[in-house]
Amino acid sequence: MTLNIAHGRGEGFHQLLQNGAEAQSNLDAIATLLKQQHPDITALQEADGPSYWSGDIDHVEYLAMQGEFSHYVRANHVNGYGLFYGTAFISNLEMNYPEAITFEPELSMAPKGFIVATVTWPGEPCVELDVVSVHLDFSSEAIRRRQAAELVDILRTRNRPMIVMGDFNTRWDKEKSALHLIVRELGLSPYKPEQAGLETFARFGHRLDWVLISPGFEFHSYNVINDKVSDHRAVVAELALNREVHAGRPSESCVARQGE
């Protein structure tokens, strides 16, 4: 699953215009959605640590506890003056080697970035992959493209198949967009990018939130959930593993175990 949780403000205009009790109520609605969908991994954006404008609680920890998930990790792309927020994961899979990247600060007035971690495919100890939660700038396609290029450069060095999820703040019909750059340069695939009915930002009817997968993974199902827990809608993708592809590229840790 991927979901921009909008600092826990629900569909409200701004988190400063609500009190702590309202923020917690909105988080409870998100936790209910998580329990209903029960994803192995959820990528979050605009996910707060204890911040004065959103109830002074760690939203990621709260959602993990309420949703009964065993692991969580958060990256603060904004850190200071009483504000702590960024991208995050909550998961029932162990998150290994997490790395938090904040894009070059001069690229955006509101810092954005991504978090990446390595997981093992359930039931397949020799299949390691990177999962990514990313949030790109909302204001400028040129900035998004520069951020996308930074993401590509870093993910290439990790040399693993990947699932990249998040709020890309751009649509597929923009051929020179950051989304196209990431798909092309990392060899990823989106689910039916031109299909109608998968819009995730209801206010303007745009599809801004995406799940992108490496070869060797396949979409089994893909749904936009209409629960109004944020100004973005959650995307839930069920993925299948192509074992023939992955049999030819076992992880280094698996090779080491086989050699013992």
User: d(Cα 253, Cα 160) in Å, to the nearest integer?
Assistant: 12
The pLDDT of 62-70, averaged and rounded, is 96
Q: Output 75-79 pairs: Cβ under 8 A, ≥24 positions apart.
A: 75/100, 75/101, 75/102, 75/113, 75/114, 75/115, 76/49, 76/100, 77/102, 77/103, 77/111, 77/112, 77/113, 77/135, 78/110, 78/111
CATH assignment of the domain containing 208: 3.60.10.10
Is-contact 77 90, C-beta < 8 A?
Answer: no
The pLDDT of 17-25, averaged and rounded, is 84
pLDDT at 108 exceeding the cut of 80: no
Q: What is the pLDDT of residues 39-57, one digit of tens each?
A: 999 999 999 999 998 999 9
At residue 208, the pLDDT reads 98
| Short-list 64, 251, 36, 231, CA closest to 159 | 251
The pLDDT of 98-116, averaged and rounded, is 88
Query: Lowest-confidence range among 27-31, 79-83, 151-155, 206-210?
Result: 79-83
At residue 19, the pLDDT reads 81
User: d(Cα 216, Cα 245) in Å, to the nearest integer?
Assistant: 5
Rg (CA), the chain: 18
Neighbours of 179 (CB within 10 A): 28
Beta bridge pairs of residue 100:
115
Query: Lowest-confidence range among 29-33, 75-79, 177-181, 239-243?
Result: 239-243
Quick one: what percent of the chain has pLDDT higher than 70?
93
Beta bridge pairs of residue 131:
117, 163
| Residue 21 structure tokens | 């009790």
Is residue 125 within a helix (H) or strand (E), and if so which, with residue range?
none
At residue 213, the pLDDT reads 98
pLDDT at 252 exceeding the cut of 70: no
pLDDT at 251 exceeding the cut of 90: no
Q: How many domains does the chain divide into?
A: 1
Q: What is the pLDDT of residues 137-192, one digit of tens each?
A: 999 999 999 999 999 999 999 999 999 999 999 999 877 899 999 999 999 999 99
User: d(Cα 41, Cα 52) in Å, to the nearest integer?
Assistant: 28
At residue 217, the pLDDT reads 97
Domain of residue 21, residue span: 2-259
DSSP 138: S
Looking at per-residue confidence, does 20 or 100 come out higher?
100
Q: Half-sphere exposure of residue 144, counting CA atoms within 13 Å on the CB side?
A: 22
Q: What is the pLDDT of residues 115-141, one digit of tens each?
A: 999 999 999 999 999 999 999 999 999
Collapsed DSSP state (helix, strand, coil) of residue 154: helix
| Residue 58 structure tokens | 């760690």
At residue 13, the pLDDT reads 77
CA–centroid distance for 156 within its chain = 18
- pTM comes to 0.93
Is-contact 258 251, C-beta < 8 A?
Answer: no
At residue 12, the pLDDT reads 87
Quick one: what percent of the chain has pLDDT higher than 90?
80
The pLDDT of 95-109, averaged and rounded, is 87
